[in-house]
Amino acid sequence: MTEETPNKSAVVTGASTGIGEATVRALRKEGWNVFAVARREERLATLAAETGAVAIPADITQDADVAQLLAEVTEAGGADTLVNIAGGARGTDKVGEAKTDDWTWMFEVNVLGTMKLTRAFLPMLRANGKGTVLNLTSTAGLVAYEGGAGYNAAKFGQHALTGALRLEEAEHNIRVIEIAPGMVQTEEFSLNRLGGDRTAAENVYQGVENPLTAEDVADVVRYAVTAPHHVNLDQIVIRPVAQAANHKVIRKNT
């Protein structure tokens, strides 16, 4: 734990599973007060019981939920760090077969959800004097690939939002961090993207030696937000060694 971490407080979205859940655990181990945010109340309650985090069920795409979340965090003493992890992908269709509902969902969760949470909490972060916003994007937001257009577009949007935010908030001493993971094997990401087809989801990682885990990414998040405040890790790209690029993945025994 660094000298700056005592009494630090973070809002972490997407906390019911995967990288969000792992981030809550990582920050709680550092002694942070953590507000764990997600839609699934039962999973949040279990996480809170195990870690001591404060569970706040909310849908980040809904204005009323965001307002209630802000009110509850304010009443509980506020936060100096916002960790936007909630997001996801739906479908692998090419543009010619794109499903509007899938694209709409991806933009609402990845881009508009991030915007709504950040907009709501910026006054609190500015008032703190040493605020941090960390956005989890993706390597899909840096390089496009076939069958990824909807997710590419959403994550490119979130990436652009993050860059603009950094420029706008530097004068308020808010550091803005982007972490862009590549291939991460989590409980639900590929399963949700592929419509619940477990076999197809498992095939995404077939033959890949040591894909990243949620804990790997959460450890990078922890490091980024616990570094001294004058240290801003603008953008961190993290991939497994087996994934040299989005289009080059080494698969063994396949």
Look at residue 220 in the predicted model and tell me its pLDDT. 97
Among 89-93, 110-114, 185-189, the range scoring the smallest mean pLDDT is 185-189
Q: Which amino acid is at 244?
A: A
Nearest to 42 by CA among 50, 31, 33: 50
Nearest to 55 by CA among 104, 12, 111: 12
> What does the alpha-carbon distance between residue 174 and residue 115 come to, in Å, rounded to a whole number?
16
Query: Which pair of structure tokens corresponds to residue 198?
Result: 């477990």
> What does the alpha-carbon distance between residue 250 and residue 243 come to, in Å, rounded to a whole number?
6
Query: Which pair of structure tokens corresponds to residue 197?
Result: 């087809």
Q: Are 157 and 112 in contact (CB under 8 A)?
A: no
Look at residue 44 in the predicted model and tell me its pLDDT. 95
Judged against a pLDDT cut of 70, whether residue 25 lies above it is answered with yes
Strand partners, 212: 184
Give 151-174 pLDDT, tens digit per residue.
999 999 999 999 999 999 999 999
CATH architecture of 9-249: 3-Layer(aba) Sandwich (3.40)
> What does the alpha-carbon distance between residue 252 and residue 242 come to, in Å, rounded to a whole number?
10
Look at residue 190 in the predicted model and tell me its pLDDT. 60
Whether the model pTM is above 0.75: yes
> What integer best gives the mean pLDDT of the chain?
92
Strand partners, 83: 12, 134
Look at the block and give the residue holding tokens 């700056």.
4
Mean pLDDT value of segment 10-23: 95
Among all residues, which ones are annotated catalytic?
151
Look at residue 253 in the predicted model and tell me its pLDDT. 76
Judged against a pLDDT cut of 80, whether residue 187 lies above it is answered with no
Judged against a pLDDT cut of 90, whether residue 84 lies above it is answered with yes
Give 107-153 pLDDT, tens digit per residue.
999 999 999 999 999 999 999 999 999 999 999 999 999 999 999 99
Q: Nearest 5°: CA angle at 245, between 200 and 143?
A: 90
> What does the alpha-carbon distance between residue 148 and residue 143 come to, in Å, rounded to a whole number?
10
Element (H, E) at 81: strand 81-84
Nearest to 220 by CA among 205, 233, 206: 233
